[in-house]
Amino acid sequence: MTKTDISNDSTSLFHEKSIDETLELLKTDRSAGLSENEAQQRLATHGPNQLKAHKRKSIFRLFIGQLQDTLIYVLLAAVVITMFMGEYLDGIIILIVICINATLGVVQEIRAGNAIEALRKMASPKALVKRDHQIREIASEDIVPGDMVILDAGRYVPADLRLLESASLQIDESALTGESVAVEKDAGAMFSDDYLPLGDRSNLAYMSTLVTYGRGVGVVTGTGTHTEMGKIAGILSQDNETKTPLEIRLDELGKTLGKAAVAICVLIFILSYFQGRDLTEMFLTSVSLAVAAIPEGLAAIVAVVLSIGVTKMAKQNAIIKRLPAVETLGSVNIVCSDKTGTLTQNKMTVQEFFTFTDKTQQVSDIADLSTEARLLSSAMVLASDATLENGKGTGDPTEIALLHLADTLQIKRKDLQESQPRIDERAFDSNRKMMSTLHQHEDGFMLYAKGAIDSLILKCKQIVEDGEIIPLNDTHKTILMQAADAMSDKALRTLAVAYKPLESQIDSENFEKDLVMIGVVGMIDPPREEVKDSIETAKEAGIRTIMITGDHKNTALAIAKNLGIASALSEATTGAEIENMPQTELESHIGEYKVFARVSPEHKVNIVKAFRAKGNIVSMTGDGVNDAPSLHAADIGVAMGIAGTDVAKNSADMILADDNFSTIIVAIEQGRNIYNNIKKSVIFLLACNVGEVVTMLVAILIGLPIPLIATQLLWINLLTDTLPAVALGMDPGDKDVMKEKPRPLNDNFFSHGGGRRVIFAGILIGILTIFAFVSGYHFRGYSPFAQHIPEEIHEYARTLAFLTIIGCQLFYSFSFRHAYKSIFKMGFFSNRYLFGAVVLGLLLQLFVLYVPFMTAAFKLQAVGIAEWAGVLALGVVPLLANEVMKIFARRRRK
């Protein structure tokens, strides 16, 4: 066979091609397979059957990436200026703050980004292929397009295949499609649909899916990155460098502060020039004001508050991988969730059953077990190949559900199987759509058959009702089919069972004749019990829950109605309907749908993007490989920690350690509180900085000496202000936060009165500080406008200004705990961290004032009780003034 261009693409619509067309296209001899020579040539052409390793950034590049932020640029400028001034210790402190902030970010990023590696490891290490007329086992990476692959139960599919043979072949594709039931495969099937969901392509098999039953042969149509799994890897490898809302707000704040600092410097230069001040003094004054304008501790405080939030959320089973994602959770207004394993239990469960004696009964409502109900469950157990021990099942999920049913009905399965040992069977196949088993029973034999109701009813001649076997008539058929249809309308998967008493053993060809119909069961993968309440809580908080699944539309809609996600058929759509829809059209109609069924991984990504394009903050939850690209594309990707694949976990921003959807809502509540705490810290810091700027600016405008030098300002910004700011970030959460609507995208730190508080507090603190500063000169018998004032008098006045501004800031921090609730009602001790921070802040001032080398370093003087009394009296004024403003705020709310 000569080397030719062979297709290596799972998207070449092989499900539309016949077996002969496929073999011709792939240049493969069905009887012999590829020759070893040809296989090597194709391996050289197409490369190994493995996913490309993702090139990861070095730690250095990650570190540099953390520094590419406007606020960090402003801080670096502050480092240069302070170093230039000779204040090396201050410069080093700011530099340490920057490094701590960057290191925290790097550590979080190193933990993430392993999705491609996990995908690569999912591929089966060995595969059975036919080459040169011989079946041999080879490494899966050596498989090439055109190889003939042998499949049997328990083996992973090594590449994308077009099936050539299928004997009762069933494959678990849940990790790829999200469908919880194994898919029956049919090699002879052909399709002509323009679009067919992956889960409906019964003549194909996909890389890394698991054969659960039967056997088959397939020819490789795609390897490595040209498989459906490879497509997912390709999506995951695309950079997703979108910033979180918090990062955007901090970036905007950094730009604003940078511009403000430059504007203040220019203004001071101009004022000082016209006042005829010394050039050196002019420069130092400008630098002092620039230092006052920039909250040097802000970046570190935000990182610390987020880290504290991450630790707290981990205790609540929500593991955060990237710090800013914590705050983003609080902004979420759309929660897109996969159905299988996320909203549901990923465990098929029998909900109801029908017998001619009991009619339709809910399993949960059974009080007394009828003879027919016992017979129905016993027959299902005996005609099963699954096992269930200590809550762990193996085999087909449908059969495991039947074993659970027997346990629920208190039927002793072990005794049953021992009393009726299996002696023969006729395996399930997709043509008959049933399976039969023959058992010894007392002095005779008993045959049990289970399968699709429309197939099994044709094999029945009688029914069992009230303990009697009677002939099957058209009325019975109608009643039975109506019961099954009613179950199907509820999206229950139906399975019928029949039996036949025998006096002697018969051949398997005669098993499925003249059967006695017992009844039918209806099963579904049920919703998680706690999810409905969580969805309702989310709805009250202005958050919409959207179901996105690879499962069938009817099944998805039934679950969605049960959970309160959707109420009408018009709110559900399918992958087939959106396949040919332009992205712009999808975006325009995205708000109309609450359920997306039978969708591919690419569809999930497009749906998430459409919601985001409409200005929504989107969370996507999931557990399978098929969810990974959409987890990657969402603002917040949330993976299941227990049932989730490694691929999903590594693509997510958050992992639920308990696989509980309700934990997402708890995490959103926590995220809202964390944002509120960050906002408190930011507004507090900015109010303090505005107070410093007003103090400096007013002093220069009216011709006073400089009230605070650069070293004193840095002490205030990096230490005194930072302690209460961190403590505010640890404030207990507001219980009413989930009664509020999600924050709009254009919301910023200054919204909802934040800006007014900054300006009001800044002006008031500035005026009080200037008052203390001027008073210091008068206490010592000098006018602040006089010439040739001794340096010790300047130091005394600056000491009073220094202590006053710190006192104002420390006490004022209590008022930031709530926008309108009084601190006297909330209590000073309800946030012990804040109370401790204020006390520690005051103790630090004692340390600076009364330790000689510190007093000299900061150019301050020790003061007496009278001065302290005055400082404390002035310090509580902003707190009391804000409490008065809160009274009016509460009245406005009423």
Task: Check: CB of residue 775 under 8 Å from CB of residue 840.
Answer: no
Q: Which residues pair with 699 in a beta bridge?
A: none
Q: In 47-191, where does DSSP find H-type helix?
A: 59-67, 70-84, 88-111, 115-122, 174-177
Query: Is 165 strand, coil or helix?
Result: strand
Report how far residue 303's alpha carbon sits from residue 326's, in angstroms, rounded to the nearest whole number.
Answer: 11
Cα angle 55-632-64, degrees, rounded to a multiple of 5 = 50
H-run or E-run covering 657: none
Report how far residue 521's alpha carbon sits from residue 361's, in angstroms, rounded to the nearest whole number.
Answer: 10
Could you tell me the two tokens for 8? 């290596």
Task: Check: CB of residue 538 under 8 Å from CB of residue 335.
Answer: yes
Report how far residue 234's alpha carbon sits from residue 225's, in angstroms, rounded to the nearest whole number.
Answer: 7
Q: Is residue 338 flagged as an active site residue?
A: yes
- Phi and psi of 847, rounded to 5°? -60, -45
Calculate Rg over the CA atoms of the chain. Answer: 36
Q: Please, which residues have CB within 8 angstroms of residue 325's CB and are 6 or more apart in sequence?
A: 244, 636, 653, 654
* Torsion angle (degrees, nearest 10) of CA 404, 408, 409, 410: 100
Report how far residue 726's alpha carbon sits from residue 721's, in angstroms, rounded to the nearest whole number.
Answer: 9
Q: Which residues pair with 656 in a beta bridge?
A: 318, 640
Catalytic residue among 69, 160, 338, 731: 338
Report how far residue 281's alpha carbon sits from residue 264's, in angstroms, rounded to the nearest whole number.
Answer: 15
**Strand 493-502 with 444-451, pairing:** antiparallel
Task: Check: CB of residue 161 under 8 Å from CB of residue 219.
Answer: yes
Task: Check: CB of residue 117 under 8 Å from CB of residue 54.
Answer: yes
Q: What is the DSSP string of 88-111?
A: HHHHHHHHHHHHHHHHHHHHHHHH
Q: Which residues pair with 207 in a beta bridge?
A: none
Could you tell me the two tokens for 696? 């400096």
**Strand 422-429 with 434-441, pairing:** antiparallel
H-run or E-run covering 889: helix 877-893
Task: Check: CB of residue 213 under 8 Å from CB of residue 187.
Answer: no
**Strand 126-131 with 148-152, pairing:** antiparallel
Report how far residue 37's alpha carbon sits from residue 390's, in angstroms, rounded to the nearest whole number.
Answer: 51
Could you tell me the two tokens for 818? 């709530």
Report how far residue 194's alpha carbon sits from residue 16's, in angstroms, rounded to the nearest whole number.
Answer: 10
Task: Check: CB of residue 161 under 8 Å from CB of residue 149.
Answer: yes
How long a stretch of residues is the chain?
894
Nearest alpha carbon to residue 476 among 434, 433, 432, 520: 520
Q: In 468-530, where does DSSP find H-type helix?
A: 474-489
Cα angle 459-462-465, degrees, rounded to a multiple of 5 = 135
Report how far residue 560's alpha carbon sits from residue 577's, in angstroms, rounded to the nearest whole number.
Answer: 19
Residues taking part in catalysis: 338
